[in-house]
Chain A
Amino acid sequence: MTQSRIMPGFKPSLAYTLLYLALIVLIPLSTLVFKSLQLNLEDYWAIISHPRIIASFRVSFLTSLIASAVAGVFGFVIAWTMVRYNFIGKRFLDALIDLPFALPTAVAGVVLATIYQPSGLLGKWLIDSFGLKVAYTPVGIVIALIFVGIPFVVRTVEPVLQEFDTTMEEAAASLGASRWLIFARIIFPNIFPAVITGVSLAFARGVGEYGSVIFIAGNLPYVSEIVPLLIVTKLEQYDYAGATAIALTMLVISFVLLFLINLLQLWARRRSGQ
């Protein structure tokens, strides 16, 4: 891109962009920081160290981690299938992958709860055949988060697979490599960073997810209560300080985790020479 002084409208565009960003995003978000500055450390610690809150953090992060890992595996398989194979109905299924982006979370929430509740379509079958209770347990949360996370993985991996230079495969084949070896040594190392990116996006979304989870989770304290729900609960009790403390903690942990994931990505990229 060439920088150019002749493109019109720099000052008004920049001014408008900054003003709108400040009004809509920066000033509102900064209240979170200022509000929590009013708390002293002891108060903050008293709020955060409550066992129920610690339990909710464990539930939120663990379920997101599991769900994003599962989404990573299946998302990769789906992306691979969509890019590499042809079969009837592919276009239709490919369009469906974006459903979690397009379907409001509340709709997803009530539907998943209906499917997996003990009397529901799948819920009944899972209890009868495997004794597995999904709704109103952390398993239900994981299911909802897989639903939410799957398009992140597929849509991140797909373009990378599409642009993957297949002559590398041909070169490896001409040098005598087997199909499995080509996959393990040529394709996967090149795709892996994209998988990590997709999984981390799914994870980040999962930790903050509210609508699609609360219906299926049952929200039992210490068992299936997620952090966003606790924030809402605190707010309903007009405990703004408590809500802020939890929110800020969650934001900070999420950002630190995202930062670590970025490092991991960088490392994966370096290793595959990108």
Chain B
Amino acid sequence: MSIVLSNISKNFGQFAALNNVSLEIPEGDLVALLGPSGCGKTTLLRIIAGLESPDAGHVVINGQDKTSEHVSHRGIGFVFQHYALFRHMTVFDNVAFGLRVKPRQSRPGEAEISKKVKSLLDLVQLGWLADRFPDQLSGGQRQRIALARALAVEPNVLLLDEPFGALDASVRKDLRQWLRNLHHELHVTSIFVTHDQEEAMEVASQVVVLNHGQIEQQGAPSAIYDHPSNAFVSKFIGQTNIIRVDQAEKVWLSTTGLDGELGSVAHIRPHHIDLSKAENASQSPVIIKDWQHLGAIIRIELFNALLPDTKSLFAEMPSEHFKQLTLDKGDHVIVKIKHANWFN
């Protein structure tokens, strides 16, 4: 089901949580609402769900205006940040809840419910936990049960609030992949909220970057990464060297192959910096101050000996390449910047 949000605004007292937000989400997409805390992403998700009502604007789901529709009639499944599992019910009863509270005429029989719950538990690979209570589960298990519970009512749209926020790093990695696979399998339009850009890039097919209650950019992860539309997005997504081009830096930047000045601030991705070994100190003032091994890549901290007051520049390259160059701490290197994003 496609979702169209138009001119959504929401204030909490004096605080403007969302300011005239418009957004279109095509059917079947897996979308991340990404932004720092307080940017309005959770509010937006809750407005789509109908848990919150906007002060202005419209929520259209599959061509129908659902702005004033009650949450229970929107056909959404909501996975809460802390899962909100019913603590006094077993896993089975939790998942069955949405089916059991249906009006009598549309409520499936107990046998059918049981069948459906079992198949959902199998889908999230936790069939063996049916009789446990929520406090006997691990965080990752709770998360998957919450998802199964939301899916039980066969929602048209799946909404997840910080789905991996409360999990350990290793569990998080697994669940990300799992969620992506599950989405491929079910193909239900899904939106999740996250403050972790890595998570958004890894899981989502579309990323919506929010800040101060407004959308900064929307697009595929690679588009957002390669062509950030403004300084905030560039800074927020991935690692970036930020260089304010004032007098001193202009001089040495001109030696790095950066063509022209297209703005006052240059954002340079670490992997857009090429290094080669300098024959001697007079060839380049740039010195390797330190380097770290990050697995497949090496991060190199560069320091300009002529400009001791400027901050370090970080470059990254595959470790193979680093080995070939036989670089080490204290070496002078020639810097070539292949690409920069310019902002004012």
The interface of chain A, by Cβ under 8 A from chain B, is 4-6
Contact = CB atoms under 8 A, between A and B. Distances in A.
Contacts of A6: 50-51, 70-71
The secondary-structure label for the interface of chain B is loop
Contacts, number: 8
A4 B42 CA distance: 13
Interface of B: 50-53, 70-71
A4 B70 CA distance: 12
Contacts of B51: 4, 6
Contacts of B50: 6
Nearest to A4: B51
Nearest to A5: B53
Contacts of A4: 51-52
A5 B53 CA distance: 7
A6 B70 CA distance: 7
A2 to B, nearest CB: 8
A5 B47 CA distance: 11
Nearest to B70: A6
Contacts of B70: 6
8 closest residue pairs by CB, A with B: A6-B71, A5-B53, A6-B51, A4-B51, A6-B50, A5-B52, A6-B70, A4-B52
B226 to A, nearest CB: 37
B76 to A, nearest CB: 12
B38 to A, nearest CB: 14
Given A5-B53, A6-B70, A6-B71, 4 more contacts: A4-B51, A4-B52, A5-B52, A6-B50
Contacts of B52: 4-5
A188 B71 CA distance: 51
Contacts of B53: 5
A274 to B, nearest CB: 26
A4 B49 CA distance: 12
B98 to A, nearest CB: 15
A6 B51 CA distance: 6
A167 to B, nearest CB: 24
B162 to A, nearest CB: 14
B100 to A, nearest CB: 18
